[in-house]
Structure formats: C-alpha cells, structure tokens
Amino acid sequence: MRPRFRLTALAAAASILTANTAPGGESEPAAVLPLDALRVPVLDAGRLEGTLLVQADLELGASSDASRVPAYRAALLSAALEFARLRVSPNAPVDVQLLSEALTMSVRSVDPQIRHVLIVEVTARSVR
C-alpha cells in the first residue's frame, strides 16, 4: 500500500479571487491562468523516493502576459524541484502554504505583476 497525501484548495482559491477590491469598493475579478500539472521527483540520498504532483493556477496582474506560459512553467518547475528536494517526503503531508510562497517568488522573477500562485491540488506519492 502506497501512502498518499492530497490537498484540494478550490475553496481557498475562490476566496482569494473574490477578495480583490477596486478603489471604488467594487469587486474586481482577477484573471486566473490554469496551468498543466507539474510532476517532479522526490529524491532522498540520490534515490527516487516518490513523486510530487502540483496542480496550480496563476493569478495574473493587470499587465501580466498570458502568452508567457512557457517561461512561467520553467520558473515553476525549477522552484518545485528545489522544494521537493528540500521539503517533501512521500510519507508526510506537503506544506502547501510554503510551496505556494516558493512558487510565487519564483514566477515573479519572470513577471513581477503575477499576484499569486494558487495551489489547486498537491499529491506526494511513494514509488514503493
């Protein structure tokens, strides 16, 4: 039996999206860019221990360019690999808040107007 930890944060994403308020007090809808899932290996002492699956969406700023998806994915993949290397075990829950912060900082290096990386689903699976 393989341990599996999963978090779905659709309600949290919805609350973040409705929290944006324009200067006049009216709600301003955020542009959300759905991305394909990221799959990165979880390594320990040079051995493959598992896989980290991250389904995330980008909350775009007013001047963000949705055509830069390959650059966004490259930054997200790099940050996810580093996060999995340092902070993920297939036998423990994933710190989703820390993962979101790491991914947000990484994608902002490509486009500082990105508001936030919204984590939709996270799964850490063991290969054994």
Which percentage of the chain shows pLDDT scores above 70? 77
Cα–Cα distance measured from residue 116 to residue 31, given in angstroms and rounded to the nearest whole number: 11
Band of the pLDDT at 28, cuts 50, 70, 90?
low
Find the helix packing angle between 69-87 and 96-108, rounded to 10°.
Answer: 140
Q: Output 22 or 71, whichever has higher pLDDT.
A: 71
pLDDT at 24: 52
- Cα distances (angstroms) measured from residue 44 to each of 36, 47, 58, 66, 126: 26, 5, 30, 35, 12
| DSSP-derived pairing of the beta strands 31-34 and 47-60 | antiparallel
- Cα distances (angstroms) measured from residue 52 to each of 42, 76, 95, 115: 6, 13, 12, 24
- pTM of the complete model: 0.77
Condensed to tens digits (0 to 9), the pLDDT of residues 40-52 reads 999 988 899 999 9
Task: Delimit the domains of the chain by residue range.
Answer: 4-19+44-118
